[in-house]
Structure 1
Amino acid sequence: MSRSFAQAAACGAFLGLSVLGACSTKKTDDQATQQPAPPPVAAAYSAAVLPAAAAAAPKLELTDSANLSPRFLKELRALGGAGAYAVRGQWLVMGKEDSVQFPLDLPAGKPVTYTSRQGGQTFTLTLTRTSYTTLRFAADAVGGSAGARHEEGTADLNPGFLLAAEVPEDSESQVSYGANEYQGETPTRTYSILVGIGPDADKAELSVFDATGKPLPQWQNLPTLRRPAL
């Protein structure tokens, strides 16, 4: 028996029908003050909410898997204490109440170029957001004794953005800022791309490593890359 019905029964036993009516009013008020529903489901990007499994990671059954990369989903499931998840529009919903918005600082489908200079070298990083979790990138370095260099591929959002932002230091101001990390991998390279959040979305960082995880000298200690205002 629920607490509201128990209260109604007690009121009926001791105070009569008039007080019972007051208890029923309180039940209605309690229902009206319950937590609001999660953000409305966007049909194109919705996903089914599955019950949390006690002994296994949750299985996501997405109706629009193109907007969440397989790598992101795999790493999301691997997060400690993973429960039930759903995608509702631009939101990742966890459990019944918690939700977080996917990073949308980069416009969908529109290339954005960041640049920086160091000595006689110029670095450019062009990012195109292709889904809620994936970027297509192209990185170039020209000038200096190392000659021209080019890297390209795709990078996926690190699910750790749910827990905390990365905090790189702006090489120009020496002030830390919040950023989301995107990770990419090829047979010979791994990449880490940090994209600033909110007012710091004009900043980005790039790191390139070989297949063993060792930083490549020609891509080390790059100054913070910047983009023009959109």
Structure 2
Amino acid sequence: MLNHTDFTRELHGNRLVAIVRGSDPAAALRSVLALAQEGVRLIEISLTTPGAETVIAQAGKEAGPDAVIGAGTVVTRQDALRARDAGARWMVTPALDEGFEHAVTLGVPVLAGALTPTEAVAAMRSGAGAVKLFPASLGGPGYLRALRDPLPDIPFVPVGGVDAEAARAYFAAGAVAVGVGSPLLGDAPHGGDLTRLRARAREFLAVCATGDAA
């Protein structure tokens, strides 16, 4: 596991969270390894992926020391325990739910799902390392900018419908990082094209390297 300081540093330094959610565990693992080979460090493997614990464990062994493997869609206490036991170094929750509470109890850095100002403040007060603004597509970059006016110290990571163009806009609005699923992964976690995945990974990494600083 990471400590909270290291997790925050990873978000600020890398600015991209790749979200792997697939229907085929072998394809999901291949996608993780391809992302890692392209230089994507923060890789979230959703627990909705069949065999997710095995994918997390294998990714931790095979992706190399530069990949920081986390578990996503942590909803329940059992999810948090499954992710911890599989070797997830950080966790992502869709809401301030039982999974969030137990991940914090386990001492695992958490990217906690929230949408409103009240939820975002509650997440940070309860031990989140950063706030997953979800679903970010509801309000877009303008909503993030409005949130940051009264809450400038909360590290927001927009997730949901973030393509490369939207990522640029979110960085300009003050995001510390973006979380990207299908606009990055495409069909790769379902057995699809890894070559295109690699190309999209390079595109997103370039955006994260050149986007406006949060």
**TM-score where L is the length of structure 2:** 0.24
Q: Which has the higher helix share?
A: 2
Q: Which has the higher strand share?
A: 1
If asked which structure has higher relative contact order (CA below 8 Å, sep 6+), I would say 2
Larger radius of gyration: 1
**TM-score where L is the length of structure 1:** 0.23
